[in-house]
A and B are shown apart, each in its own frame.
Chain A
Amino acid sequence: MNPKKIASLVALGTLILAACAAPPAAAPAQPAQPAEQPPAEPGKKFAGVTVNAITFSGPQIAEPMQRRGKEFSEMTGATINVVTVPFADLYQKILNDFATGTNSYDVVVFAPQWMVDYIEPGYLEDLTDRVKADSALQWDDVGLFFRDFSATYNGRIYTIPLDGDFQMVYYRTDIAKELGLQPPKTWDDYIAFAKAVSEKKLTTDDGKPVYGSCIAKKKAAQSYWMITSVASAFIQSQGTGQGAFFDLETFKPLYNNEAFARALEVYKETTQYGPPDEINLDVGDTRGLWTAGQCALTIDWGDIGTLAIEEGSKAKDKTGAVILPGSKQVLDRKTGKLVDCTPELCPHAIDGVNHAPFAAFGGWSGAINKASKPEVKEAAFAYLSYMNQPAQSNVDVTIGKTGFNPYRVSQFKNLDNWLKAGMSEQAAKDYLGAIEASLNSPNMVLDLRIPQNQYYQGIVLDGAIAKFLAGEQDLAATMKEIEDGWEQKTEELDRDKQLAAYRATLGVQK
């Protein structure tokens, strides 16, 4: 080969290497949008202090953070900058910032199930003493579950809850009445309800179709929480401590058995009664369909209740809410079979139906970067405390666009704010009753909070479910893929450590 050839091949190789080595194509993220803040005023408590906060590009969550940030600035002189990134990037973005020592953010508002990956390396400030010293927080008014699951790790407080999250089923009360249907108690009821509406071929006032069921099933979005909401009642029956993801002795996945197979069947069947593009819809899309009056049933967090009363909603005073449907058959963990409920197998069953409400996600919570300057930490805590205090949060949880759902005891007891927000008394009782029933359930399913839960759920579970819904693989292959993927990650991370973390999570008090 002559030198020219060699030179040209080297040049070609360098070109290709350089091209491939370039950073991944601009992350499909929305640009960070710092909130506009008034300049700091001298003489105020935090004058001259700037607090940089990060959360996801809602508008939910970011909206109240920016709005309350502005109020907080006016009161204290601190400058609050809220940076937003797409939800899918938030976990890694925060971790990268901490791990590289960049420390661009003083306040991080995130899913509490990720906290284990932030606390173990020592990135988050221990807030225990500050919380105890802050009477304005009225900490005892925060629901016990949120204090323990969303805020505490290994007995220490690391986050301030701003939101309370449970998945529930919403149904259209007017359609149920018209068709003589009862709110679903079991997943079979859910299917029957959805099918009845679908067969009736109802339309909205402007001629658009009303679908029997709308569930966010988009890949790499919220689908893995939805399937867990369906599966929980089939898998967990003996109380929260039993867990719904792994065996407590061997840490083997509980997702390859007859119970999860039944959940997959239910999940897939609901697609028949949903919008044609349901497997490409995320919660933003299904919520839009709900408020447009195009859904008779949906699974969602508390957001639907408040979005339904917003201006322009066609589901106002037509939105009912119930605890997640249950099952009369549950997993017998000794045999791996789906068997009928007995008093021994389903001690918490109501009328023979085992309910296992899923505390999906856990509710947005705020934490403080341990590496921030002391005065910034003080301002950051004061800012989180301000948002959490009843005077602010009791209002914010009634506004749909905030994305905040009730998490304080007083928010369930006092209906005034809900009525002021535009909810009818019946709707408020329905809505809060469904959340309370979930919150008080002794068989509540806790979300996965073990190291790298994002990989277990967001990659393995989500990927397998997406293939199943798309018809790329059958039930057996889907369950095997989940089991193999989880086992592989467990082996990588150390089974004993993962099991210990899982058991510690399930010890959470409610």
Chain B
Amino acid sequence: MATITSPAGVSAARARVSPSERLAPAAFILPAVLVVLLISIFPLILSLFLSLSRLRFQAGGLEVQFVGLDNYRKLLLGNEQKVLFGTLAEPSLFGWVILAVVGAALASGLYRAARHQPAIAIVGRVFASALLLGLTYLIVATLFAPEGRPGTLVVTMLYVTVGITLQYLIGLGLALLCAQPLPGRRFFRVVFLLPMMITPVGVGYLFRMLADTNKGPLEPLWIALGMQDFAWSNNAWGARVAVMIGDIWQWTPFMFIVLLAAIEAQEVEPVEAAIVDGAGSLDIFRHITLPAILPVSTTLILIRMIEAFKIIDLPNILTNGGPGTATETLTLYAYRIWRALDIGGSAAIAYILLFLVTFIATLYVRTLRSRLGTT
């Protein structure tokens, strides 16, 4: 039987509870909170401090010198700026078009926000729009400029964008296939999962061998194609594509298995009703399956996006970040300078990465929310 308690009754009940009973929940939760703080928050604060410091091993311990924003200055304005941002040049016509479209969309969004939102929200929007426009310009002036060259920031975003898009599309295609009552589908479900079970370092060496046009197992194929003198590793885009193929091969199974579960979990009735009403496969997919798997898809993409920003193994094993800086990611660069004792610089890169991931993930979630009309 449901009971209704008045606010006065609640207060009376609280008054009857002893102090030890009131503190008990907090006391039980406190150890877990402390563990979380120690494991997650403390390293974050410490690494923030490291990013503002310079460390040197000295007799008897470590010498920590506080240098303020100097590590960030080196990266954003100093000698390492080119590694981070690449070489910016005059964009091509296509590049200008992209920039104009993004600029117009942001301006339109700001205009609408100015009419309906409070001032504080508009300030946030202006900041986010400026940052997004800056990122777009960086991409356009390095990727869509004849004389431009992308730095680690754009290369990382390239891997994330292209990699996740293709992983999602291929994973979805395979999931749709394996959801059909086809012979051997159980076997293929296991086979499609195999790449995910190999360590990324193993995948790196595997692709390094496969891509070797001189000694690799595919050598006869390269010769037959007249490509024995071609070296993918000499070409910036050849090397990037090789890294992306490895990454897509490894992570598509993750997309596949989650999407398969989502497809198989969708309600059967709407599908059967649509079939009875004469809907085709494409219509069923577009109007029933896709909306049904959309919540899973958005979470899946978010998780992969956060993970993909940290890509290091494949470019490290395949090319060491070369040729030049063509395949070097933010994490690989941070790892390289960490190995050479620039721990503060490495921490600064990690924080720039953290800021970038937070910004893009928040943007992604907010865009989806506004599109889907959810709160």
Contacts and interface: CB of A to CB of B under 8 A. Distances in A.
Interface of A: 2, 4-5, 9, 12-22, 24-30, 88-89, 91-92, 95, 98-99, 117, 120-122, 208, 218-221, 275-277, 279-280, 288, 452, 454-455, 458-459, 463, 466-467, 469-472, 481, 484-485, 488, 492-493
B324 A470 contact: yes
A124 B229 CA distance: 49
A341 to B, nearest CB: 34
Contacts of A493: 56
Contact of B319 (A92, A280, A452): A280
B317 interface: yes
B233 A4 contact: no
Interface stretch (B255-263, B274-282, B308-316): B308-316
Kindly state the interface size class of chain B when it binds its partner: 35 or more
Given A120-B57, A220-B336, 5 more contacts: A16-B358, A89-B339, A452-B341, A463-B325, A470-B234
Contacts of A470: 234, 236, 322-326
B323 A279 contact: yes
B313 A463 contact: no
Contacts of B213: 276-277
A466 B199 contact: no
Nearest to A207: B223
A472 B321 CA distance: 13
21 contacts: A14-B40, A16-B354, A17-B40, A19-B306, A19-B357, A21-B354, A22-B310, A24-B312, A24-B331, A24-B335, A28-B201, A28-B204, A28-B317, A29-B201, A88-B339, A95-B57, A219-B320, A277-B234, A279-B234, A279-B323, A493-B56
Given A16-B357, A95-B341, A467 B44 contact: no
Nearest to A471: B324
A99 B341 CA distance: 12
A485 B307 CA distance: 31
Contacts of B338: 24, 92
Nearest to A493: B56
B306 A17 contact: no
Main secondary structure of the interface of A (DSSP, over half): helix
Closest 3 CB pairs of A and B: A470-B324, A277-B231, A280-B233
Given A121-B59, A481-B79, A466 B234 contact: no
Contacts of A99: 57, 61-62
Contact of B322 (A4, A24, A279, A288): A279
- Tell which of A13, A16, A95, A120 has the most Cβ of chain B within 10 Å: A16
Interface string B207-223: 00000111100000000
A481 B322 CA distance: 17
A100 to B, nearest CB: 10
A280 B231 CA distance: 9
A26 B323 contact: no
Nearest to A292: B215
Nearest to B365: A12
Given A16-B358, A220-B321, A469-B324, A276 B229 contact: yes
B83 interface: yes
Contacts of B79: 481, 484-485, 488
Nearest to A220: B320
Contacts of A218: 320, 322
Given A276-B231, A277-B231, A484-B79, A459 B336 contact: yes
Contacts of A92: 338-341
A407 B234 CA distance: 37
A455 B74 CA distance: 15
B60 A122 contact: yes
A116 to B, nearest CB: 11
Contacts of A91: 339-340
